[in-house]
Amino acid sequence: MTEITPATPKRPGSITIARHGQPLANREAMMDWRGYEDWWDNIYQPAPLVDGQVAPEPLKAQAVEAHTIFASTLRRAIETAQAVAPGRELVIDKDLVEAELPPPPWPGRFMAKTWGVFARCTWWLGQSRGRESRVEADERAARAVERLIAAAEAGPVVCCAHGWFNRMMRPHLKASGWVCVRDGGDSYWSWRRYEYRGN
């Protein structure tokens, strides 16, 4: 009698999630809270990358192997993906944009990067001032992760997105059985690689 060997289930491809390169926006500019709100909306969010940056070769190698390349709709993420995967078709996904940073209406003038810290802390505590809340951003992160996981069924995925939002996707990946096997930190051009290990 011939033994029938059961087929080995195909494992999904890896998911590599990268932060964008350095955007052309002065994070040391001094401003009040209203000035920061304007800076965020009209300078930082639409900013391109600073000229002359080069994507890290190890990250480009991940893209060479990738079946699908994702990027958020923001210019800095798209330009990062184009540098990482030259000539490749990109999946542009609005769910991958950065979480909002509404500044608290506090007195004083501070650098943009300082307002960013204030804004992230108060936003995390529930003060969204009419913009996307932490709860809404977390729901968006869950949707984005579902999309990345679905794409990984066809092969490895590279996603070029944003520092804080990338963090928000991590627990959803972990809950779905994905393990971080390469942690490159949170600086510009940094990346993490996740592999499916099961629940």
The tens digit of pLDDT for each residue in 123-179 reads 999 999 999 999 999 999 999 999 999 999 999 999 999 999 999 999 999 999 999
Confidence of residue 7 (pLDDT cuts 50, 70, 90): very low
Residue 1 has pLDDT above 80, yes or no: no
Among residues 99, 100, 110, 97, the alpha carbon closest in space to that of 34 is found at: 110
Average pLDDT on 100-115 reads 98
Q: State the pTM of this model.
A: 0.92
Q: Can you say whether residue 75 is alpha, beta or left, with left for phi > 0 and alpha for psi between -120 and 50 degrees? A: alpha
Average pLDDT on 39-45 reads 98
* Domain residue extents for the chain: 15-196
CATH code of the region 15-196: 3.40.50.1240
Average pLDDT score, the chain:
95
- The encoded tokens of residue 180 equal 């971080």
Average pLDDT on 81-94 reads 98
**Cβ atoms of residues 131 and 100 within 8 Å:** yes
**Cβ atoms of residues 138 and 124 within 8 Å:** no
Average pLDDT on 64-92 reads 98
C-alpha distances in angstroms, 72 versus 98, 136, 146?
Answer: 8, 17, 15
Q: Can you say whether residue 87 is alpha, beta or left, with left for phi > 0 and alpha for psi between -120 and 50 degrees? A: left
First-to-final CA distance of the chain: 36
